[in-house]
Amino acid sequence: MLEQQMAFLVEIDKLKTIQRQARIMHGDRFENDAEHSWHLAMMALILRQEANAEIDLLKVVKMLLVHDIVEIDAGDTFAYDTKGHEDKDERERRAANRIFGLLPEAQERELHELWREFEAKETPEARFASSLDRLQPLIHNHHNEGESWQRHSITEGMVLKRNREIANGSERLWTYAQELIADAAEKGFLARETDETGRRP
């Protein structure tokens, strides 16, 4: 059993090599999924009182630690990449089967369930975890003066639309996020005007 657990723990080291679209806030390189997951777990500890509903904090933290592991095989799909999202579910399902499948059966089941619950966004824990997962890139982008928004021609309208579901997990964090977005647009980090395609003219 320890053998299988160690094989899994060695395998998930690969999450440290999966690159995201946002840069870290204090350095000139892209963030990876492992450090992103750590940051989200810290956000859960610090912001737990902002959740709309009573939450089981351990469950939220577990979900956040586990939620991106499937990207070891499936890769990071950029939030605004419509094409990438077409087969995202299927790629991630196969990844979950392979990677969680390295574990002893009871733990394989536990991680599978945590990941499915996170993806379904139906429980208070999954909703809150998902809100943090949306909020964190906003904080990064605001801090980095919109670098990844500009690189991908993302506009204020797109950011508001994509992120309004933060309110499902935390109304207060959604209020905060809207203030961040408005401030970013004000300061020119994020484009306000869009043409008919929704992209910056």
Contact footprint for its own copies (CB under 8 A): 2, 5-6, 8-10, 12-17, 24-27, 31-32, 34-35, 37-39, 41-43, 45-47, 50, 57-58, 61-62, 65-66, 103, 107, 139-140, 143, 172, 176
Q: How far is CA 95 from CA 16, 26, 91, 117, in A?
A: 16, 31, 6, 16
CA 58/CA 129 separation, integer angstroms: 11
Task: Tell me the closest approach of the beta carbon of residue 58 to its own copies, in angstroms.
Answer: 4
The residues with which 19 forms a beta bridge, in sequence order, are: 32
The candidate with the shortest Cα–Cα distance to 112, out of 99, 130, 125, is 99
Question: Closest CB to its own copies among 13 and 89?
Answer: 13
Task: Tell me the closest approach of the beta carbon of residue 143 to its own copies, in angstroms.
Answer: 6
Question: Closest CB to its own copies among 65 and 191?
Answer: 65
Tokens in use for 5?
A: 């657990």
Question: Closest CB to its own copies among 104 and 201?
Answer: 104
Task: Tell me the closest approach of the beta carbon of residue 86 to its own copies, in angstroms.
Answer: 28
CA torsion, points 60, 65, 69, 71, in degrees to nearest 10? 80
Task: Tell me the closest approach of the beta carbon of residue 74 to its own copies, in angstroms.
Answer: 16
> Are the CB atoms for 152 and 78 separated by under 8 Å?
yes
Task: Tell me the closest approach of the beta carbon of residue 101 to its own copies, in angstroms.
Answer: 14
Unique residue bearing structure tokens 């977005």: 181
